[in-house]
Amino acid sequence: MPILRIKDFFYKRKDPFYYQIKSLLKFNPNSLEYYKRAFIHRSLNRRDINGIAINYERLEFLGDSIVSSIISSYLFKNIPDGSEGYLTQMRSKIVSRNHLNELGTELNLISFVQSNIADENHGENIHGNLFEALIGAIFLDKGYPYCKKFIFQNVIDPHVDLERLKNKIISYKSLFIEWCQKNKKDYVYNTFEDNGNESIKHFAVKLSVDEKIIAKARDTSKKKAEEKASKRAFFMFQEDILKDKEKTN
């Protein structure tokens, strides 16, 4: 082994981060810098000598594409009769923002983050963003085969059941709106700010169908509140909605 590589070998092993990331990855990382960058939040406002921002966002962009590629390949091989639209729908269920957030949370990636913001104030999506950034770092450090192995070990093998996935609902709002439109029902989401005595902004929504309020919900964003109300509405009309869905499929 060349002298420079020997020095690098021992230098890495003096860094506590080496053992932490190795334990997470289940393999020996080559360049720690990729992995360190995968956990730097933009709030630190770090820049290199050329003024280019140093944070995980570019790695997140790269990782998103790689995750999508590996999942697409898996579905293509394992659902030989699936149409393009069906495969796209199945992929969306696996790489949905909620599922990526769950994966990031499961791996406790937030514990690696360097940030000027308290963990509880980051919002849920940081977990999925970090997962994608980590995949980007693995790709740059070890290449596609290691990304594939990591995703199979942490995503596909423990979480992907194609039979169960067929019936998984990604968005209750989209499903409910589709059903309303198909059955010529008028629907309205009346959403407004509803902070109450809380310091965190909340939104409330009243969902009406044919001028009758059928569901109410409240959450920290319009999207979450409307999705929650849609889920409640779905269970009110579940039998009719699923019958229509079966006819479509």
Tokens coding 31: 């360049």
Among the ranges given (53-57, 104-108, 176-180, 200-204), the one the predictor scored with the smallest mean pLDDT: 200-204
Q: Let me know: does 146 contact 162? Beta carbons within 8 Å.
A: no
Q: How far, in Å, CA of 232 to CA of 207, rounded? A: 10
Measured CA angle at 182 (ends 178, 90), to 5 deg: 40
Question: What are the boundaries of each domain within the chain?
Answer: 3-166, 172-248
Tokens coding 43: 């709030």
Q: How far, in Å, CA of 21 to CA of 6, rounded? A: 20
3-166: CATH homologous superfamily?
A: Ribonuclease III domain (1.10.1520.10)
The amino acid that residue 188 corresponds to is: V
Closest CA to 114 of 124, 125, 122: 122
Confidence of residue 201 (pLDDT cuts 50, 70, 90): confident
The dotted CATH code for 172-248 is 3.30.160.20
- CB-count exposure of residue 104 (10 Å: 0-12, 13-18, 19+): buried
User: Which of the residues are catalytic?
Assistant: 64, 132
Q: Let me know: does 131 contact 61? Beta carbons within 8 Å.
A: no
Q: How far, in Å, CA of 63 to CA of 234, rounded? A: 34
DSSP string, 59-116: HHHHHHHHHHHHHHHHHHHH-TT--HHHHHHHHHHHS-HHHHHHHHHHTTGGGG-B-S
Q: Average of pLDDT values for 13-42?
A: 92
Q: How far, in Å, CA of 122 to CA of 167, rounded? A: 31
Q: What is the pLDDT of residues 72-121, one digit of tens each?
A: 999 999 999 988 988 998 998 899 888 999 999 999 999 999 999 888 78
